[in-house]
Amino acid sequence: MKDPLVTLSGIVKRFGDFTAVHRLDLEIAAGEFIAIMGPSGCGKTTTLRMIAGLEAPTEGQLRIGGRLMNDVPVHERDTPMVWQSLALFPFLNTRENVEFGLRMRGIGTAERRRRAVEWLERLEIREFAERSIDTLSGGQRQRVALARSLVTEPQILLLDEPLSALDAHLVIRMQGVLTRLQRELGITFVYVTHSQSEAFAMADRIVIMSGGRIVQTGRPREIYRTPECRFVAEFVGRNNILEGISRGDAIETPLGVFPAANLPAAGRRAILVIAADLVELSRTGSEGSIPCSLISEEFVGATVTLFLEAADGTELKVQLPERALGDLDLHAGGRFHLSWPDDVGHVLAEN
């Protein structure tokens, strides 16, 4: 890892009796695109606001570029943020919004305008320079918010669920804009989101938070294929989770005994995680396959998730490409058999 740009060590944030963030340690490298992901109330936005200086940590140290930032006021930090609500200034036009940060730093009118226009061009919104903010579309406003934050050429950009208000097709486009910008500028992006697809599509590294703690950090693929705890296995992707007891080289679950690696000592409880996209579905049973009946399906374009129920009531999921469905008869109650290769199971020690 390169030199860390941002270091959070032992950060605790309490609001009265409520602890929003528990002893958080995190290093963010210069030039890294990091996504902090978790359900609402997990402390991800509070963490971002502490980096920006909008909240003061109750305990611990926050450093940016080596400098201790705990007591540095917001306006001296140069940690611009793209807000979920965008927070554009409604009484200023597009160009004036972009110029705002430069104006606050006392930069002269001509220079201000030159740099603002440069950024408007870069984000392809030059033609809206003199337009009022409320005449712009959601995607255009998003670009104004980005230009406004980047015009001061910061080392770091904080993004707080910036795409959550956009239509699906615009989200994909803006993801492209963001990743391209981050690569071109080479600065650090800290992106807070609850959306797995946004985090996985853009980030170099993902931090998963739950209940004010970091539960796992890793590259998107690692998080997706090797969750380290039950929370991540349930929160990320579509996983089948089977509780069981280790027999050393296999795990005994209510659905049968499955060979698996990395099991705890025999007799200890463990969890077997099988990603829904690795499960195989067939009409006819084979040795060791699990008979199930179909409950419902979720169809989202190219992929389909089938929800099935085993004889003992365990719910299982299968994710298939839509074209692989072929002429399968998908009526509720239909009988199927599920199986998976021995090596795809991922084991978690239950704690």
Partner 1 sequence: MSARITTALLLSWLLAVFIFIFAPIVASVVFSFNSDRFPTIPLGSFTTRWYDMIFADVEIGEAARNSILVSLSTSVIATMLGFATAYTDYRYRFPLKGPYLALILLPPTIPLIIMALAMLAWLSWIGASGQLWSIIVAHSVLTAPFAMAIIRLRLNQIDPNLEAAAWNLGSTEWKALRSVIMPFCRPAIVSAACLTAAISFDEFAVAWFVSGLNKTVPVIILEIVQGNIDPQVNAIGSLVFLTSISLVVIAQVFFISRVGRA
Polymer length of the chain: 351
Half-sphere exposure of 16 (CA within 13 A, CB side): 0
What angle is formed at CA 272 by the lines to CA 264 and CA 293, rounded to 5 degrees? Answer: 155
Q: Which amino acid would we find at residue 174? A: M
Out of 63, 103, 213, 225, name the contact with partner 1 by CB under 8 A.
103
Nearer to partner 1, 104 or 311 (CB): 104
Interface map 55-94 toward partner 1 (x if CB under 8 A): ------------------xxxx-xxxx-x-x-x-xxxx--
- State the nearest-atom distance from the C-beta of 80 to partner 1, in Å: 6
- State the nearest-atom distance from the C-beta of 34 to partner 1, in Å: 19
Of 20-39, binders to partner 1 (CB under 8 A) are: none
Interface map 142-161 toward partner 1 (x if CB under 8 A): ------xx--x---------
Nearer to partner 1, 32 or 160 (CB): 160
Of 98, 56, 68, the C-alpha closest to 80 is 98
Of 183-202, binders to partner 1 (CB under 8 A) are: none
User: Is 15 one of the binding residues for partner 1 (CB under 8 A)?
Assistant: no
The count of chain residues that interact with partner 1, using the rule CB under 8 A, is: 25
- State the nearest-atom distance from the C-beta of 351 to partner 1, in Å: 39
CA 15 to chain CA centroid, nearest Å:
25
Residues that bind partner 1 (CB under 8 A): 52, 54, 73-76, 78-81, 83, 85, 87, 89-92, 100-101, 103-105, 148-149, 152
